[in-house]
Amino acid sequence: MANKKDLKSSMAHGMSSGLDSLIQPTTNKQEPEQPQKEKAVHCNFVINQSIHARLKTLAIRKGVTLKDVIQEAALEYLDRNE
């Protein structure tokens, strides 16, 4: 086991071992670009209570939000009809 003098000596001479060899600079790494989210808009619409209840039940069963269920349904409708 090294004593304090050996440790101080190795630090003074610039030995790169121990923690120094494990620490890497982070300034050179480039973060991968995150895909930008499409801007969300708020919309209000009126639907029958029975449809809303079915959609909400489906969302709960799937473990997602009501917004996700409606968005998925709208995309499927657009794919079929465009």
Residue 7, pLDDT score: 64
Contacts of 10 (CB under 8 A, 6+ apart): 2, 17
Query: Is pLDDT above 70 for 8?
Result: no
pLDDT tens digits along 25-60: 666 666 777 888 889 999 999 999 999 999 999 999
Residue 43 CA to residue 64 CA, distance in Å, equals: 19
Q: Could you give the 3-state DSSP secondary structure of residue 70?
A: helix
- Locate 12 and state its tokens: 């003074």
Domains defined along the chain, listed by start: 43-82 (1.10.1220)
Query: Is pLDDT above 60 for 15?
Result: no
- Locate 22 and state its tokens: 């494990």
